[in-house]
Chains A and B, each alone.
Chain A
Amino acid sequence: MILRTKLFGHNYEFKSIREVMAKANEEKSGDRLAGIAANSAEERVAAKVVLSHITLEDLRNNPAVPYEEDEVTRIIQDDVNVTIYNEIKGWTVAQLREWILDLKTDGEMIKRVSRGLTSEMVAAVCKLMSNMDLIYGASKIRITAHCNTTIGLPGTFSSRLQPNHTTDNPKGIMASVMEGFSLGCGDAVLGLNPVDDSVESVARILKSFDEFKNKWEVPTQICVLAHVTTQTEAADKFNAPIDLMFQSIAGSQKGNEAFGLTAQMLEDGRQMMLKKGTSTGPNVMYFETGQGSELSSEAHHGWDQVTMEARCYGFAKRYQPFLVNTVVGFIGPEYLYDSKQVIRAGLEDHFMGKLSGLPMGCDACYTNHMKADQNDIENLAMLLASAGCNYIMGVPQGDDCMLMYQCTGYHEAAAIREILGLRPIKEFELWLEKMGFMENGKLTPLAGDASVFLRK
């Protein structure tokens, strides 16, 4: 392992893999905030050069947090397939990059190698990829999962219907649910971020979603994004119908503790779902992540936000989720400064999730204190769809009045499908056709008329 190089005759020397990994990142305000970013554009490139020569074995032996100290590290390391790892451990990061991009390498081959990778390797190769590399590489990897329907099949593009409401008003939520479905949104999941995350309220909303889903025979899955323990209690105490169990996750044990979470809680939640959940499965979990969350809870252990994000995916894989998405621009400008950084992070996260073997989606979003606007997020959504992203979000016109941020709107998935020749999940498309909202993969004149669900 050599941690030194020259650029234009100047020496660049790094003290550790951790320093190389941080400085090899594309510029992010979060790495700067953590005090670990490259000090100049040249130093950034020097770090990339050094990283390109590091072997996968070196990366496996230098996890971000020691094995003994961190259950996320233990899960990532214990889940490595040793046979596959032994085949590739001598590769440099540059070799891994070119192998992924190679014409002869297909998605199935990448999925196999993926089982021999740790999250640090996934992060490392991501740092050597340009934006188009990230799209090109990810587009080869199709990860499907089954809950009530199958997500991620080639030629499909899905969306989450996110009918958030400032006070969880049941009528207001349903108005939003109806309009979302009428625009072809919601084949990934109908999922609400609750304001009131009491067990009673979560159970009440789940029941109303279940009722709607059954009445209109919508082939999708339902979810209320409360803590795992709250959802379990809602199922236990109130018989709440749950198709998908949600949880926010982080890339270190300490980061998960900030979410009030342990690996055991996730496993217990999943077992509860397999036993009492209302969905077919076998994939019954839904996770959200996002670069910077470990730093914000001082749980990054001095590592950069791309590596910590990759570790979320290594952790998530253990629980065979149906949905995983990064909430890429939610955290604010101190982590992702502007649209350029958000777009980069969105493509990185999608690529790393897919390379980790996850059915990856993305909440392409921004807050109002970032230098970004709706045009940027439309750009990112288009790029993600080109990269084969499984799903994006859908809220009324991209304006989430409850979470006070903007993301993709109900109309976006429909437009992207039409532009790129993609379709919703098959059963869902047939349902849209039956309802009169879609024809030959395009919205009909009736689409967008939520009052269809109130027909007398």
Chain B
Amino acid sequence: MNENDLRKIIEQVIGEMKSTASLSSGQAVQEEVKNEKNITTGVIEEGFIPDITEVDITQQYLVENPVNKEDYAELKQYAPCRLGIGKAGARYKTDPLLQFRAAHSAAQDAVFSDVDHEFVERMGLFTIQSQCDSKDVYLTRPDLGRKLTEEGAKTVAEKCKKNPTVQIYVSDGLSSAAVAANVADVLPGIIQGLKSYGIDTGTPFFVKYGRVGAMDQISEITGAEVTCVLIGERPGLITAESMSAYIAYKATVGMPEARRTVVSNIHRVGTIPAEAGAHIAEIIKLMLEKKASGTALKL
């Protein structure tokens, strides 16, 4: 390129700049946007990008040209972990990266959102609250999550049947998603199961911002022989919907943790919610017979 060519190019560029500048700058931007829009609307298609949360990570195998694909694919089925995911440089491929973020987003939403009030009412439960007045306080003050507000304690005393054989209640714990996913199956399941054994149950309710230990105070207020709380577990990435049942015989405030019996891992790919109710009822029956719970009760 000689000097003349270069000059021509520069003149041309300056000329173009002038002509763009002669339009009002607002107009120019509008033109641009309009063009952009036309291009985009032209390529929007029907259909869905597949749901990345439906991928079975035990089956997914993203390694390129593996030495022995068949045998490793077989082996990795035994691990519920993110294996066979290959790499992009020393980093992750895009699909597993987004799958991970999706799983974490579900876990975060399960912890940081509240159980839907309408759901609680639909289940026929009234609501009381622990001494935590926000999710933030709940997460940082486990001691307050173990105590009911004065008003809450009064409500339980007024509304609940006195001295029932079994008091069952529901609490959000660390996963509102777990409550939403499992309670509709598990709660009636337990009540039904106990009924078939001829065991009476008290008035169920819902404790917002509750920790497991709140069951001790509730046991003292209702005078129940056995108290059982259905509570959301801390979510993992495999599921955000896992619920536990903590059950204790004549729980009292300040009793050792070892006196609680726990049925954990209640979710659709763990202990199936529809079956969990009967299982818990059976444990409660045994607890009443042996008059013991926790490590003192051999299951």
Q: Chain A residues in contact with chain B, CB under 8 A? A: 29, 32-33, 165-166, 169, 171-176, 178-179, 183, 332-334, 337, 367-369, 373-374, 395-399, 401, 404-406, 409, 411, 414-415, 418, 442-443, 445, 447-452, 454-456
Contacts and interface: CB of A to CB of B under 8 A. Distances in A.
9 contacts: A32-B140, A172-B78, A369-B139, A374-B100, A397-B85, A397-B100, A414-B90, A415-B91, A450-B83
Given A374-B104, A418-B90, A369 B72 contact: no
Contacts of B107: 368
Contact of A401 (B85, B111, B174, B236): B236
Interface in B72-93: 72, 75-76, 78-87, 89-92
Nearest to A450: B72
B84 A450 contact: yes
Contacts of B91: 411, 415
B69 interface: yes
Q: Is the interface of B mostly helix, strand, loop or mixed?
A: loop
Contacts, number: 146
A455 B81 contact: no
A336 to B, nearest CB: 10
Contact of B71 (A166, A334, A401, A454): A454
Contact of B82 (A172, A173, A397): A397
A451 B80 contact: no
B67 interface: yes
B34 interface: no
Given A178-B72, A455-B67, A367 B82 contact: no
A165 B81 CA distance: 8
B108 interface: yes
Interface string B93-136: 00010001101100110110000000000000000000000000
B142 A334 contact: yes
Given A166-B80, A183-B87, A397-B82, 4 more contacts: A33-B140, A399-B81, A449-B67, A451-B66
B201 to A, nearest CB: 31
Q: Which 10 A-B pairs have the closest CB atoms?
A: A172-B79, A451-B72, A172-B78, A404-B236, A397-B82, A368-B107, A415-B90, A171-B78, A451-B68, A414-B90
B286 interface: no
A321 to B, nearest CB: 28
A397 B80 CA distance: 12
A165 B78 CA distance: 9
Given A333-B140, A369-B111, A449-B66, A401 B80 contact: yes
Contacts of B66: 449, 451
Interface residues of B, number: 46
B160 interface: no
A225 B104 CA distance: 27
Nearest to A370: B139
Contacts of B82: 396-397, 399
Contacts of B236: 368, 401, 404-405
A411 B82 CA distance: 12
Contacts of B65: 449
Contacts of B72: 175, 178, 450-451, 454
Nearest to A395: B81
Nearest to B81: A396
Given A404-B236, A414-B90, A452 B140 contact: no
Given A374-B100, A449-B67, A401 B81 contact: yes
A169 B78 contact: yes
Contacts of A395: 81
A342 to B, nearest CB: 14
Contact of B68 (A332, A406, A445, A456): A456
Nearest to B71: A454
Contact of A29 (B80, B96, B140, B234): B140
Given A448-B87, A454-B68, A401 B238 contact: yes
Given A368-B108, A374-B100, A411-B91, A448 B63 contact: yes
B237 interface: yes
A437 B69 CA distance: 17
A122 to B, nearest CB: 27
